[in-house]
Structure 1
Amino acid sequence: MSDRHSCVLILGIGETASAIARELFLADHIVALHQAAPPPDLRRKMTFSDAWFDGSSVLEGVEARRADLVAEFMLGLRSRMFVPVLTHPLQQILERWPWEVVVDAEMAPRREPFGVRNLAGLTIGVSPGSVAGESCDLVVDAHGKDPGAIRRPGEGPGPAAEPEPGESEPARAPVSGIFSMIKDIGNVVEAGEAFGMIDGTPALAPYAGRIRGIIKHGRAVAAGTPLADIAASTAAQVAGMTPRNRLIARGVAFAIEMQAEGWTPFSWDALNEGGSGFTS
């Protein structure tokens, strides 16, 4: 294990980004999350996204705090007591601190092509469509049979996302207005039961199950906005990190560690061609 700790900026605050931030924070890296717009995440107990709204959030024993002021930002980075959540424009954040690693872990589809390559000495893509050598230096697979696998330039994009077993379409807003919660994350609902209200109009569960995620109370929503993620199984995980996101986070941590040690990431292609897959 290297004693060299990197300054890492993670783009996004969803499940994958939060898992990566937690993993790197516990490995004593200097870590911050960047989320400029209100996060749309429903599975809020599996992320740090509530810090964006409430100022603070805890994921499996690690705290994240919204840091709008320079003093809060610097306190988080220097003390390593919490993970700062930064909301200013990305360019300002890049200029404010000498980031050594930038990780693109924004899993929601973007309207325009986006890349992080050249934003730091090492850039890692986890987001959909990331291609090593084009949009970033290295890719860590987020999907497929081997989440957390590292891809080098020339190895192409990683596997596309596939629906999770038992995953259904989210319950959506029937009208526009201000959403009020009746049920919370972890509660069980019956088909047709109201889990919230939008200005007096009930938001009904389309099927029975356990609420795995729900939009923040008091948020303005447009008709059709996803409101709740309801899992068919009442034993579904509703808090903490999923096994897949743990593997992704470890893959990112391993890629940073190898960079610090001067190793080239492992490649099955290199191994099949007769090499070890590692060079120094």
Structure 2
Amino acid sequence: MRKIPSNALTVDLNCDFGEGYSLYRFGQEDELLAVVTSVNIACGFHAGDPHTMRETAAKAAAAGAAIGAHPGLPDRLGFGRRAMAVTPQEVYDFTLYQLGALQAIVKAEGGRLRHVKPHGALYHMAGADEAIAEAVVKASLAIDAQLMMYGQSGSLLLDAASRLGMAAVSEVFADRAYEADGSLAPRSKPGATLTDPEQAAKQAVSLAADGFAYTAGGGRAAVQADTICLHGDGPHAAVFARHIKLALEAEGILLAPPQFLQSKGE
């Protein structure tokens, strides 16, 4: 990876990838790979399978994107979006299993696993439950102590990562409105999802340059923006991604994976 000047304003653009399985595919991954700087690959529980994981890892490596794991709960029918009554030990085992599988596939394709971003319900559970957060972090560190943890800005998951010695990467969302406390506005709230690509691009610039997101009521909420998530499963995902990329670059903001990835002899 190219070196980034230490005084440059940079932000990572990440997207969840490989969330089909068998004959089923969705999303606009080829178009998004021209925009994003890191990808989070489903590891076979909520979505994905060995073939999809390998194919996605190969495409991401060829595109030069930083590759991360996107582990979820064992709930394919609910796409990993339903909370489950699981213990921290079960979460540790689920995470270890999925990361180990993807790490092997990524290595076989000539790449390296660089970060972890839990999926769906596991992401939110780890963000709000200290024991679940620690289980995800400890399993990740057991796989590779140099992995980074992607988590929602202000979450317990990032707190656990920092406390346990894992690099924490604060994630924000360009296409979601926020509450005044920096949490995401619930999708049931009017205006919680931004549907105008220009509005999402404006928010992305505010997130990266100023550390503010917009609330559903038009106010501002303070957040830490190390990486911006681009949702890849919407019908206009590629359009949103291009608008966001162009808006950031127009402001002189460089797009790159988190800076500390690039200081480890690469």
Does TM, scored on the shorter chain, surpass 0.5? no
Which structure has the highest helix share of the two? 2
Which of these two proteins has the greater Rg computed from alpha carbons? 1
Q: TM-score range, shorter-chain basis?
A: 0.3 to 0.5
Which structure has the highest strand share of the two? 1
TM-score (norm 1): 0.32
TM-score (norm 2): 0.34
